Chains A and B, each alone.
Chain A
Amino acid sequence: MNIALEVKKMTMDFGGLRAIDNLDLDVKHGEIVALIGPNGAGKTTFFNCITGVYRPTRGDILIYPPDREQLRINGLKSNNVTEKGMARTFQNIRLFPNMTVLENVMIGRHCRTKSGVFSAIFRSRKTIHEENDIVEKSYNILEKIGIERFVNEFAKNLPYGVQRKLEIARALATDPFILLLDEPAAGMNPIEIKELDELIKKIRKQEKLSILLIEHHMSLVMNLSDRIFVMDYGRKIAQGTPDEIKSNKDVIKAYLGEDSDA
């Protein structure tokens, strides 16, 4: 398998505080990789760095789109990162509350479509075609995720689990080749988590994309991921297959505290 995302020696400082320290990470095409670690380990900061919300202090972030040259995306604005094919969801759900479910997904199509102010006013055949295309594609994604029955609801009125799924749908609408999921199972009940597990596998299979996820639900992580990276205090402390991670001493120490190995 070829590499899809490669992070080399990335460091992020906030003033005097080092949030991420010399981190290396890679995701191959078609792979599901999990990034785990205790609260405050710097996982979300890592996401923010590679998606252009923050500009990392040092290091390289490289992406390898399937049909194009490799790209260094340090310091790109987050909309450009998405345009290049890396989409994300947010830990604290950030939907557009006063837009309908369909419109939320349609926003995802924005960077793959073109029509501007004038074509919106004159509504040429091309624009109508594009508009219909957006609606159709968005609806298909909703069907795929299994939330099409909420299509005309306002996002703010959705149940929590559906909101999480809508975030994934919206990210998928941008045609990514890497999908970054920030705690997709947070706040879900066991049944919803099981559904999510299947959904993520299905997405990978159907869309042929790589997934990098941050998650705290260990059963989900162990079940889904091909490889796992573990962070603590901004550093990578372990990487490997789920089985390797389960028996890794450093990981257990990080999760249970220094004294627990006694």
Chain B
Amino acid sequence: MITIQEIKKSLIVSVWFMLLTFPIMVIRVNTVEKIVEWRWENMFFIGISVFFLSFLWRYLMKRKELEKKPDIGTWEISILQEIVKKPKILICCSCCLVLFALLLPFIFSFYQTNIITNALIYVMLGLGLNIVVGLAGLLDLGYVAFYAVGAYSYALLNHHFGLGFWSVLPVAAFLSAFFGILLGFPVLRLRGDYLAIVTLGFGEIIRLILENWNEFSFGPSGIANIKRPGLFGIQMSLETSIIYIYYLMLLIVIFTIFVVNRLQNSRVGRAWIALREDEIACQAMGIDKTKTKLTAFALGATWAGMAGAIFAAKTTFINPASFTFLESAMILSIVVLGGMGSIIGVIIASFILILTPEYLRAFSDYRMLIFGATMVIMMVFRPQGIIPNVRRTYKFSKSRIEN
């Protein structure tokens, strides 16, 4: 199988990378003590791993070429897709999952429950961004701005007027939607890649304003002592409130899944996908581009806003550092990894991306490195994500419709 030629190729690649990474990986200068540290072991490590990775890379490339012809779905994927397709199995599986989720706080510690709540927030953010990027195909790199709008709406309204979580949640959602439309209007005419940069710029502007406008947002020091969500005025201990927020989050995530699922097979959802697939044809079929894009922006932002309010209520402290571009990139990589437009994919991806660094501490330093690499590798080898979106199918018997 492996020819001399291939070994030679891999050797060349590995030497190339050893040279390429030499100054950054091997040399480290301590400018204070004026010592040069030579880390030759890194070079060796790079050489070996690149050598083997290059075989893997070529193998995957070859497989990708083969898959291009007809769609030979790989085995494991087709099973997952079958499950997604068959409503009975799907309902059964989701019932088990919901049951597990309900019992979870009693099985795991508070600490772990808290982490899972975190993951659920990302599920929500991922599903929200999924509307914008996955369904409507609008690459939004400033999604975190709407998250920030939601978080600060609750934090500020709570701080200044003492408003409670439940009354602010709809306000936060509404404000974020408003910002979504505010951003959406001017950028409608822009092509995909320009849109990405403008949204990125918008996200950074919001963050910089929050950082610098001390009178309004209390600057980099942020806002502390935000009230946790209440439940009919019942006094709760820290532990109870962690569990309470967990259930709250679970409920909202289920609601989100419900809504996104209904939307993606609706008239509006189809219009989004058509817009993603071909803008000109979409318009030629009588779809109003402006309206469709704005709806996607506004809805995506609404979800980010709600997630933001919950985040503020959960951590009781927010500052601009939570809303950097990296956060946007992380949510985007959830959507990309999960599979654009795929609900189950996004859920699985957010759990992988949030929980792995939590439980593998050694892994957490390399988190962003791996995120970045994942985005590249996914785009090169599997642009449709872990679990590609499955379109709804219809059965017909003599013009009678069964779904």
A9 lies within 8 A of chain B by Cβ: no
Partner of B283, one of A79, A112, A116: A79
For residue A97, which residue of chain B has the nearest CB? B277
A94 — which chain B residues lie within 8 A by C-beta?
A: 278, 280-281, 284
A107 near B394 with CB under 8 A, answer: no
**Nearest chain A CB to B261 CB, angstrom units:** 10
- A116-152 interface bits toward B, Cβ cutoff 8 Å, 1 = contact, 0 = none: 1100110100010011101110011000000010011
CB within 8 Å for A117 and B295 given contacts A96-B273, A106-B270: yes
Stretch of A62-70, A82-90, A214-222, A254-262 at the chain-chain interface: A82-90
CB neighbors of A among B226-284 (8 A): 259, 262-263, 266-271, 273-274, 277-278, 280-284
Report how many residues on chain B are interfacial, defined by Cβ distance under 8 Å.
34
For residue A108, which residue of chain B has the nearest CB? B285
CA distance A77 to B291 in the complex (A): 13
CA distance A113 to B289 in the complex (A): 16
A39 lies within 8 A of chain B by Cβ: no
CB within 8 Å for A103 and B270 given contacts A77-B283, A90-B281, A151-B394: yes
A110 lies within 8 A of chain B by Cβ: yes
- B192-212 interface bits toward A, Cβ cutoff 8 Å, 1 = contact, 0 = none: 000000000000000000000
**Nearest chain B CB to A146 CB, angstrom units:** 15
A139 — which chain B residues lie within 8 A by C-beta?
A: 394, 396, 399, 401
A99 lies within 8 A of chain B by Cβ: yes
B82 lies within 8 A of chain A by Cβ: no
B365 lies within 8 A of chain A by Cβ: no
Interface of B (DSSP majority class): helix
B286 lies within 8 A of chain A by Cβ: yes
A34 — which chain B residues lie within 8 A by C-beta?
A: none
A140 — which chain B residues lie within 8 A by C-beta?
A: 399
CA distance A207 to B391 in the complex (A): 30
**Nearest chain B CB to A151 CB, angstrom units:** 7
B6 lies within 8 A of chain A by Cβ: no
A79 near B289 with CB under 8 A, answer: yes
CA distance A155 to B70 in the complex (A): 13
**Nearest chain B CB to A65 CB, angstrom units:** 14
**Nearest chain A CB to B262 CB, angstrom units:** 5
- B47-90 interface bits toward A, Cβ cutoff 8 Å, 1 = contact, 0 = none: 00000000000000000000000110000000000000000000
A238 lies within 8 A of chain B by Cβ: no
CA distance A156 to B248 in the complex (A): 42
CA distance A177 to B295 in the complex (A): 30
CB within 8 Å for A131 and B286 given contacts A98-B277, A99-B391, A123-B262: no
B287 near A107 with CB under 8 A, answer: yes
CA distance A127 to B268 in the complex (A): 12
B287 — which chain A residues lie within 8 A by C-beta?
A: 79, 107, 110-111
Partner of A120, one of B268, B285, B286, B392: B268
CA distance A111 to B271 in the complex (A): 10
Partner of A135, one of B274, B280, B289, B401: B401
B358 lies within 8 A of chain A by Cβ: no
A174 lies within 8 A of chain B by Cβ: yes
B277 — which chain A residues lie within 8 A by C-beta?
A: 95-99
Apart from A79-B289, A98-B277, 4 more pairs, CB < 8 Å: A79-B286, A107-B271, A117-B268, A152-B393
Of the A-B pairs whose beta carbons lie under 8 Å apart in the complex, a sample of 8, sorted by A's number, is A53-B280, A79-B288, A87-B285, A120-B262, A120-B269, A130-B267, A152-B393, A154-B391
